[in-house]
Amino acid sequence: MLNKVSIMKKLFVSIFLLLIGCSNDHETYSIEEFMDVISFGGSSFSHDESSILIRSNESGIFNAYEVDLNANRIFRLTFSDTNSIFPITYFPNDKRFLFRGDQGGNEIWHIFMHDLDGSVRDLTPGENVRSLFLDWADDQRSFFYTSNNRDPMYMDLYEMDTKSFTPNLMFKNDNALDVIDVSRDKKYLTLSKMHTRDRSDLYLYDTEKMILEKIIHEEGDVNHYPTGFSVDSKSIYFLTDLDSEFNYLKKYDIQSGVIELVQKEDWDIMDNYFSENGKYRVTMINQDSQTIFKIFDTEKNNYLDLPDIPNGNVTSINISKSESLMSFYHGSSTSPNDLYFHEIGDREPRKLTNSMNPSINEKYLANATVVRFRSFDGLEIPAVYYRPPQASANNKVPALVRVHGGPGGQARVGYNAPIQFLVNNGYAVLDINNRGSSGYGKTFQTLDDQAHGKGDLDDCIAARDWLGDLDYVEEERIGILGGSYGGYMVMAAMAFRPQAFNVGVNIFGVTNWVRTLKNIPPWWESVRESLYKELGNPHSQEDYLYSISPLFHAKNIKDPVLVLQGANDPRVLQIESDEMVKAIRGQNVPVEYVVFPDEGHGFTKKKNQITANETILLFLDKYLKRTSIQ
């Protein structure tokens, strides 16, 4: 029986919580409402520039759609309800289009043709054949693509004419290079070889003389990465970090060998490409976890006066063949990416899609803020922070350190429905760019080479301390969450720093580096050396890799863990998660496990995304959030 004091205490707590709820004026949304946001991507102008080919997951999985620019309407073109369809490009002279697809997320991509009558043809068949579109030929009668049809380890270059759809082998890639571009006159190929993450070479292949040549010779750790040929096929544009922390743009003259500087910024230039006839050169820049762009008018020799665009990220800029129209995607931390259409020279772009669920009010979402804090050794660590609008000193919230994938990925500013779902439900989230992340200079990116689960993990501990110092965060209720490499960091934290975090959410994370590195997909042969240099060689450094693999240190795990896994994942095999879960259960530690039979490395189907995010929230509410007062 409750005594009078206990009754009065519970009544006081109820009134207090009610007052807090009223003062916050906060609305909470379900995961179904967040997943009712539509994801759009891709853009290809039709031959008559009357429509744009895109992808959308409005149906629950990705299908191909067409945006009619005259009617301002969107039409669905494909009707798959099993495997996602990712449209690539219209044909140059009609509305047939190419798309890529795999089986349940296994990443064995095929190139398909969607004909004018709606029929579909697999142009690159084969049970274990992986093919990726590269570009259309200049005469528009054929297209180039890479495929491992000859050997699972090597992505050769093929040309396929659009009359007979017969492939022709153009380049046998026995050196496991990355084929980047074909010159307009088909005389040259430009290729890249990544030896390590901080050393890569640029190659030129003469298709007439059949000579492959490394064209830039520098000693030491320097990256040279081609972005493509000039329109006249006389030069190669490439990115380099020679004598620089960041990538900048240069040009190599094929005949003379002369190299000249084209463009340098204070951050990494990520990409550079030309419009159809070379009138415009588009440059994408990774500026402090956000994407900005510049368009250079090669005829007027100045940068294009850009349209008025709201604050946020602009990506996927596509200029039409006539060079008079432009499409791009724009989004922010509180609004998903939407497709915009712009007539070059006008000030106002036209918004073509509406991705946000109208029932969600942006004022209840969190604006992403780039913050910095000092780690254990004084190194400055950048991160993207999301504060729940309802958080205050009188209404403290639990928090999560989120770790991106990679290694070498980057937490970036942009709309992230799973993060916003957690923040909306009362969790502060710090999306960390620990040492080893990209975007902050090559020195920073190499600081975790063969030191994973050490300094990078200590950065996560410093992130936890930063959160704990906030007056509106419950210091004793902080968890860690991440996917892929981020999932590894979760398990490393739980096994190697068992006192740091109260819970861990591992989304298809590596737990046994020896197995993972011995079983990388064969088509990753071109990056094998780089992976071994950064992570360790499983054939000669087994002891080291065992020492950093959480599976073999499960006895240290003391706090609850949630594991999510795709059964078809070719990168982190399901057995990794199976064994990790079994080992944790052997310690009598709470562990929950969800396997999606129709997903790979990443969950693309809405129904699975809903299940995954709902499971994460229920797990966190159960083990991390203060749900009652004793």
Domain locations in the chain as residue ranges: 122-351, 359-623
Pairs from 292-300 (Cβ < 8 Å, separation ≥ 24)? 293/317, 294/263, 296/263
pLDDT above 50: residue 557: yes
pLDDT above 50: residue 569: yes
- The residue among 504, 485, 506, 469 whose CA lies nearest residue 435 is 485
Q: How many angstroms separate the Cα of 199 from the Cα of each of 224, 225, 240, 250, 534?
A: 8, 10, 10, 17, 12
pLDDT above 60: residue 107: yes
User: In which order are the strands placed within the sheet that holds 290-297?
Assistant: 268-274, 280-287, 290-297, 302-303
pLDDT of residue 294: 94
Residue 311 neighbours by CB distance under 10 Å: 8
pLDDT above 80: residue 302: yes
State residue 537 phi and psi, 5-degree precision. Answer: -90, 120
Q: What mean pLDDT comes out for the span 387-408?
A: 94
Q: How many angstroms separate the Cα of 13 from the Cα of each of 5, 6, 10, 235, 629?
A: 12, 11, 5, 72, 8
Write down the CATH number for the domain with range 122-351. Answer: 2.120.10.30
Task: Compute, in degrees rounded to 10, the torsion defined by CA atoms 345, 349, 352, 354.
Answer: 160
Q: List the beta strands (DSSP E) in 115-267.
A: 120-122, 131-136, 142-151, 154-161, 167-171, 178-182, 188-196, 199-206, 211-214, 224-229, 235-240, 248-253, 259-263
- The residue among 482, 313, 330 whose CA lies nearest residue 401 is 482
Coil, strand or helix: which one is 580?
helix
pLDDT above 90: residue 48: yes
| Beta carbons of 110 and 102 less than 8 angstroms apart | yes
272 by Cβ neighbours in 10 Å (0-12 / 13-18 / 19+) ranks as: buried
pLDDT of residue 310: 72
* Interatomic CA distance for residues 16 and 19, integer angstroms: 5
pLDDT of residue 626: 64
pLDDT of residue 16: 38
158 by Cβ neighbours in 10 Å (0-12 / 13-18 / 19+) ranks as: buried
Percent of the chain with pLDDT over 90: 86
State residue 478 phi and psi, 5-degree precision. Answer: -130, 125
* Interatomic CA distance for residues 37 and 45, integer angstroms: 24
| Residues 200-209 as b or e (16 or more Cβ within 10 Å = b) | bbbbbbebee
Coil, strand or helix: which one is 424?
helix
State residue 622 phi and psi, 5-degree precision. Answer: -75, -40
Structure tokens given for 426: 């009362």
| Beta carbons of 611 and 594 less than 8 angstroms apart | yes
Q: What mean pLDDT comes out for the span 560-572?
A: 95
- The residue among 339, 341, 343 whose CA lies nearest residue 322 is 343
pLDDT band at 220 (very low <50, low <70, confident <90, very high): confident
pLDDT of residue 219: 79
Structure tokens given for 201: 């070479």
pLDDT band at 169 (very low <50, low <70, confident <90, very high): very high
Angle between helices 606-623 and 417-424 (to 10 degrees): 30
Q: What is the pTM of this model?
A: 0.89
pLDDT digits 0-9 by tens, 446-477: 999 999 999 999 999 999 999 999 999 999 99
Q: What mean pLDDT comes out for the span 41-54?
A: 97
Q: Nearest 5°: CA angle at 42, between 605 and 386?
A: 65
pLDDT of residue 276: 95
Residue located via tokens 């759809």: 165
pLDDT band at 406 (very low <50, low <70, confident <90, very high): confident
pLDDT above 90: residue 20: no
Least reliable range by pLDDT among 211-220, 479-488, 519-528: 519-528
pLDDT band at 365 (very low <50, low <70, confident <90, very high): very high
Question: H or E element: which one contains 14?
Answer: helix 4-24
* Interatomic CA distance for residues 133 and 144, integer angstroms: 6
pLDDT of residue 25: 66
Q: Which is higher by pLDDT, 407 or 18?
A: 407
* Interatomic CA distance for residues 619 and 48, integer angstroms: 52
Pick the CATH number of 359-623 from 3.60.20.30, 3.40.50.720, 3.30.565.10, 3.40.50.1820: 3.40.50.1820
| Beta carbons of 356 and 35 less than 8 angstroms apart | no
Q: What mean pLDDT comes out for the span 407-417?
A: 92
pLDDT band at 347 (very low <50, low <70, confident <90, very high): confident
Residue 614 neighbours by CB distance under 10 Å: 15
- Looking at the chain, the number of H-run helices and the number of E-run strands are 11, 36
Q: What mean pLDDT comes out for the span 589-615?
A: 95
pLDDT of residue 13: 38
- According to the 3-state scheme, what is the secondary structure of 251-285? EEECCCCCEEEEECCCCEEEEEEECCCCCEEEEEE
pLDDT band at 196 (very low <50, low <70, confident <90, very high): confident
pLDDT digits 0-9 by tens, 50-71: 999 999 999 999 999 999 999 9
Q: What mean pLDDT comes out for the span 98-117?
A: 96
